[in-house]
Amino acid sequence: MKISRAHVLALVFGLVTSAVAAIAFDLLVLYPSRAPQGRGETIRVTIQKGAGPTEIAQALAERDVIDSPGRFSLWLRLTEGFERVRAGTFEVPDDATAAQVLEIICGPSADKGIRVTIPEGFRLRQIAQTLEESRVIGKEPFLDVATDKDRLAAIGIDARTAEGYLFPDTYYFSKNATPEGIIDRMFARMKRQYAEVAPNRALDRRILTLASIVQAEARVAEEMPAIAGVYRNRLDASVFPSGLLQADPAVAYGCEPHVRPKAPSCRTYDGTLYLRQLADEKNPYNTYKHPGLPPGPICAPGKEALLAAVSPKEHGFLFFVAGGPGGRHVFSETLEEHNEAVSAYRRSR
């Protein structure tokens, strides 16, 4: 039987198409998840800045992380994965799949150190706990330095502890980091952030203290200036003669382990404030008994809280209570209005 030229071409086209489809399926579907025969060792690989797919694949192949630089390079080109690759030194297991290798070299360089995120509003002991859990440094060595008044004074922290002077942010610390080095870096970042919100003004403990209270009270960043405005009004004797801030987070902070002397009511403090804590005059942070700002910051304020403390919103409110939508507060100008808002909040609970 005679086979026409058209039939031959169709057959060839079909075979070629099938072969291409098989190759594409292998490269794009099977290859990325195929594990090589590694020994489970971690290998350090350096990717140069500006490296393209070929250079990236070659760097990995030279360190025996991948066994086919041509295939890996082609896969990077087809998926455009190379556009996400970062320059730096990376620790890559020699038995990682191509997809796993790509994720590693698209992440932070191992040279940056251990990644640690300190959330806004964290207290010293929480910062210390996070550093220990991240295996950067032990909790107790950190707290020893963070409460060493002489050492703190040497770097410009005029306070009994570093509370409120360490900026909450994401850091990369080396495995050989020291408590002194960590505190120096976090304090330096606080000074930079403070300089941005308060240009040409010296670092002020009163501002840091107010910012820390605002940080502890606020659930919504947009409310921070308004909350700071309430406290500014309360600090104005002509507006609020008693000068009592009545800030619950400050009272609670007075029961922190490193606060000395220990107030009697703190012996029974379990995380919830009761009348015995609010009535304890021996707690120096009891803003229901002692007018004005407490002795120092009560947590690590973020940039929004710093800005709110530097530039509080001008208004006539003297009170606020939780109960607004989305974690917001209800603000009141008079005690009568405030009591009604408190009653409404209790009913809603």
CATH of the domain at 135: 3.30.1490
The DSSP code sequence of 38-68 is --S-EEEEEE-TT--HHHHHHHHHHTTS-S-
Q: What is the pLDDT of residue 113?
A: 80
Structure tokens at 328: 């917001």
Residue 162's contacts (CB-CB under 8 Å, 6 or more residues apart) are 124, 146, 147, 152, 183, 187
| Average pLDDT value for the chain | 90
Residue 202's contacts (CB-CB under 8 Å, 6 or more residues apart) are none
Q: Which of 180 and 112 is assigned the larger pLDDT?
A: 180
Residues 60 and 167 in one domain: no
Residues 251 and 265 in one domain: yes
Q: Which whole-number Å values give the CA distances from 280 to 242, 244, 256, 264, 320, in the listed order?
A: 17, 14, 15, 7, 23
**Number of Cβ within a 10 Å radius of residue 232:** 17
User: Average pLDDT in the 117-141 region?
Assistant: 96
Residues 257 and 326 in one domain: yes
pLDDT over 60 at 7, yes or no: no
33-74 residue pLDDT tens:
787 766 767 888 889 988 899 999 999 999 888 888 888 989
Residue 316 placed within a domain: yes
User: Average pLDDT in the 280-306 region?
Assistant: 98
Going by pLDDT thresholds of 50, 70 and 90, the confidence category of residue 181 is very high
Residues 100 and 130 in one domain: no
Whether the upstream peptide bond of residue 179 has omega within 30° of 0, thus cis, is no
Domain ranges, residue 152: 114-197
Share of the chain above pLDDT 90, in %: 64
The torsion of the CA quartet 210, 211, 217, 222, rounded to 10 degrees, works out to 130
Q: What is the 3-state secondary structure (H, E, C) of 73-90?
A: HHHHHHHCHHHHCCCEEE
Residues 220 and 340 in one domain: yes
Residue 14 placed within a domain: no
pLDDT over 80 at 30, yes or no: no
Bridge-partner residues for 320, per DSSP? 331
Residue 19 placed within a domain: no
68-120 residue pLDDT tens:
888 898 988 888 777 888 888 888 888 888 888 888 888 777 677 888 999 99
pLDDT over 80 at 143, yes or no: yes
Residues 274 and 216 in one domain: yes
Contact 105, 86 (CB under 8 A): yes
Kindly tell me the burial class for residue 162, based on how many C-beta atoms sit within 10 Å of its own C-beta (0-12, 13-18, 19 or more): buried
The torsion of the CA quartet 115, 119, 120, 126, rounded to 10 degrees, works out to -110
Alpha helices in the chain (DSSP H): 5-25, 53-62, 69-79, 98-105, 124-133, 139-146, 149-154, 179-197, 205-217, 224-234, 248-253, 275-278, 303-310, 335-348
Residue 292 placed within a domain: yes
Residue 225 placed within a domain: yes
Contact 314, 305 (CB under 8 A): no
For the chain, how many structural domains are there in total?
3
Q: Which whole-number Å values give the CA distances from 323 to 38, 315, 316, 347, in the listed order?
A: 58, 20, 20, 10
Residues 215 and 189 in one domain: no
Residues 36 and 138 in one domain: no
Picking from 197, 222, 252, the residue at the C-terminal end of a domain is 197
User: Average pLDDT in the 121-139 region?
Assistant: 96
Picking from 69, 89, 111, the residue at the C-terminal end of a domain is 111
The torsion of the CA quartet 273, 278, 284, 290, rounded to 10 degrees, works out to 140
Residue 127 placed within a domain: yes
Residues 231 and 265 in one domain: yes
pTM across the whole model: 0.72
Q: Which long-range contacts (CB under 8 A, 24 or more apart) does 67-75 make?
A: 67/36, 71/27, 71/31, 72/98, 74/27, 75/27, 75/28, 75/31, 75/32
Token pair 């071409």 is found at 9
How do 170-173 and 319-322 pair as beta strands? Answer: unpaired
Residue 4 placed within a domain: no
Residues 215 and 344 in one domain: yes
**Number of Cβ within a 10 Å radius of residue 121:** 19
Picking from 144, 166, 197, the residue at the C-terminal end of a domain is 197
Q: What is the CATH number of the domain that holds 54?
A: 3.30.1490.480
Contact 73, 54 (CB under 8 A): yes
Residues 71 and 153 in one domain: no
Q: Phi and psi dihedrals of 45, rounded to 5?
A: -125, 135
Residues 193 and 136 in one domain: yes
Residue 151 placed within a domain: yes
How many Cα atoms within 13 Å fall on the side-chain side of residue 79? 21
